[in-house]
Amino acid sequence: MIVYAVEPGGKYVTVAESVLLHPEGKRGVYVNLTNRCTCACTFCLRSLKNMAEEHSLWLKAEPSEEEVRGELSELPWEKVEEIVFCGFGEPTMRLDVLTALLRWLRAEHPKIKTRLNTNGLSDLYHGRDTAPDFDGLLDTVSISLNASNAERYLELTRSQFGIGSFEAMLNFAEHAKKYVPDVVLTVVDHVEDDGEIARCRAICEARGLRLRVRAYEAS
Ligand code: SF4
């Protein structure tokens, strides 16, 4: 699935199914741009190959900007609260498509909130400061902090960029504050213990960033 909704309990459904199940109220709608990622997190379902291939978010081919726009155009917009770029991979690996879609959303549906869930390593992947690309395009960016130090971060994420990844992710988060109103760092609740979560909270406080302890979802 390229565009989807998430049921309570974590089941992925089409937006039409979601509206049938819950005709009242609005929902988050998720966009799955890629299954590629610059990390290989130990807790990510992508690493369990058989499960990944059977997973409804496994893409046979990456969708073009036009394909995604086509699916978004069909949405029952009165039932949509927020568009989230997330999925089963790292959306910023397709930065041009991602920002083009965000610009389209701002132009066509300016009242709909927008969010990016990311590993925060786009500066390393693209070799430049990428936070300005999101200027005025996002309401929220949610970045996976994962750990309180570079060694533990690398152990968990197995980032292709090595030990410098942790600092690069934090720099991206700090730069993003200039361009995105709500910058949130996240840790996954069943991966880290209370002591590690407290250390993550201290890092966020020192840098003026908000921490959210979340249940697992890709990115
Ligand atoms: S959890 Fe997110 S950042 Fe980690 S490998 Fe999976 S998609 Fe990539």
User: What is the CATH classification number for the domain harbouring 164?
Assistant: 3.20.20.70
Q: Which residue puts its alpha carbon closest to atom 2 of ligand 1?
A: 219
| Domain housing 200 | 3-214
Ligand 1 pocket list (CB less than 6 A): 37, 39-41, 44, 46, 89-90, 119, 144, 157, 218-219
Give the count of domains, the chain. 1
Does residue 50 lie within any of the structural domains? yes
Residue 100's alpha-carbon distances to 78, 92, 136, 154, in angstroms, are 23, 12, 13, 31
pLDDT one-digit tens code per residue, 87-108? 689 999 999 999 999 999 999 9
Does residue 219 lie within any of the structural domains? no
Does residue 103 lie within any of the structural domains? yes
Nearest ligand 1 atom to alpha carbon 88: 7
| Token reading at 53 | 């291939």
| 165: exposed, middle or buried (Cβ count in 10 Å: 0-12, 13-18, 19+) | buried
Round to whole Å and give the CA distance between 135 and 78.
Answer: 26
Round to whole Å and give the CA distance between 30 and 87.
Answer: 7
| Token reading at 108 | 């066509």
Q: How many A from CA of 88 to the centre of ligand 1?
A: 7
Q: How many A from CA of 37 to the centre of ligand 1?
A: 6
pTM over 0.85: yes
pLDDT one-digit tens code per residue, 27-76? 999 999 999 999 999 888 776 555 556 678 888 899 999 999 999 999 99
Helices (H), the chain: 15-21, 49-54, 65-73, 95-108, 122-126, 150-157, 165-176, 194-207
